[in-house]
């Protein structure tokens, strides 16, 4: 029997890859007086609801989605986290 799982995918630029958005945020924070900020990496969050037989199966399926479409593994890192079941 399948359940519906809520899964978060956090995607960030790989180290060494230019991150203009992160650099802009870091500069703006410095301009606002936040002097302790030395680096910012900006990314995105993708939240997916997926039917699967288990949390492990949901995780594996979403990881395959990331490799094929959601993330660009050449320049981005991603972390998949199954949050909970939907409607439980």
C-alpha span between 29 and 27 (Å, rounded): 5
* Distance of alpha carbon 56 from the chain centroid: 18
Q: What is the pLDDT of residue 86?
A: 81
Write out the two tokens for 62: 């979403």
Q: What is the pLDDT of residue 56?
A: 96
Q: What is the pLDDT of residue 1?
A: 81
Q: What is the pLDDT of residue 85?
A: 86
> 48-59: per-residue pLDDT in tens?
999 999 999 999
pLDDT means per 10 residues in the chain (88 residues)? 94 94 96 94 97 96 97 96 83
Cβ contacts of 32 within 8 Å, gap of 6 or more: none
Domain ranges, ordered by start, for the chain = 3-16+43-85
Q: Please tell me the CATH code under which domain 3-16+43-85 is placed.
A: 3.30.1280.10
C-alpha span between 39 and 18 (Å, rounded): 12
C-alpha span between 69 and 62 (Å, rounded): 10
C-alpha span between 84 and 67 (Å, rounded): 22
Q: What is the pTM of this model?
A: 0.84
Q: What is the pLDDT of residue 4?
A: 96
């Amino acid at each position: 029997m399948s359940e519906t799982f809520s899964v978060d995918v956090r995607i960030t630029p790989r180290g060494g890859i230019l991150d203009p958005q992160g650099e802009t945020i870091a500069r703006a924070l410095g301009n606002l007086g936040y002097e302790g900020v030395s680096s910012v990496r900006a990314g995105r969050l993708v939240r997916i609801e997926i039917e699967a037989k288990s949390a492990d199966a949901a995780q594996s399926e979403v990881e395959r989605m990331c490799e094929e479409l959601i993330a660009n593994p050449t320049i981005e890192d991603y972390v998949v986290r199954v949050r909970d079941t939907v409607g439980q």
